[in-house]
Amino acid sequence: MKKLLIATHNQDKLKELTKEIKKLTKNKLKIYNLNDLGIKIAPEETGKTFEENAKIKAKFYGDLTGMLTLADDGGLIIPYLKNEPGVKSRRWPGYEADDQELIDFTLAQLRELKKNQRCAFLQTCVCLYNPLTKKFFCRQEKIKGYIAEKSSGKPTQGYPFRSLFVVDGLNKYYDSLTKKEHQNINHRLKAIKKLNPLQLIN
């Protein structure tokens, strides 16, 4: 059985991806994560796009372990602000900000703007890397919405933008979605389905 490394320390993301990949591959891959292998080091994410950063992470861990490796990168895109924060994410204000600082900073950038100027996307890029062939397989997906004028008041730790992002079609804050609603719009899972890890085990 071939091995696949999911390169994340985020336990919620790990559970989500593991479940979906097992379903897609019909359990034909033995799945590992960074904690299983005792890996604590991380590459410097110097990419200018989500895809570049996803490739950096996938290649770093794939070459380190010799295993098929899946990594992802994503964040918030606000077209009116020239697609910021994009890959800046935590460092958007110019320093390593905490969740509340990012919420406050985002609202300040869009203060008094109309709804059509507050359009935004939650975007992700999922990348599979084969260290034997040195080939990458990447897919991107996004969720459309807009930035509200105030926070939902119940931010998800580590995901501050979810408390500001209202999902198109549902008119609900991202962090207020039911489990079923989240499953239906989950951009990371949609990217995984398009990617189809089976293409790397043949």
Q: Give the DSSP letter string of 105-121.
A: HHHHHTTT--GGGSEEE
Q: For the stretch 53-83, what's the b/e string if a residue is b when 16 or more beta carbons lie within 10 angstroms of its beta carbon?
A: bbbbbbbbbbebbebbbbbbbbbbbbebbee
Using alpha carbons, list the distances in angstroms from residue 137 to 2, 43, 74, 110, 131: 17, 19, 16, 36, 12
Note if 104 is an active site residue. Answer: no
d(CA 175, CA 173): 5
d(CA 183, CA 22): 16
Write out the H or E segment, with its range, that includes residue 177.
Answer: none
- Which residue's entry shows tokens 């990371």? 188
d(CA 159, CA 182): 14
Q: Which of 72, 73, 98, 104 is catalytic?
A: 73
Write out the H or E segment, with its range, that includes residue 3.
Answer: strand 2-6
Q: Which residues carry out catalysis?
A: 73
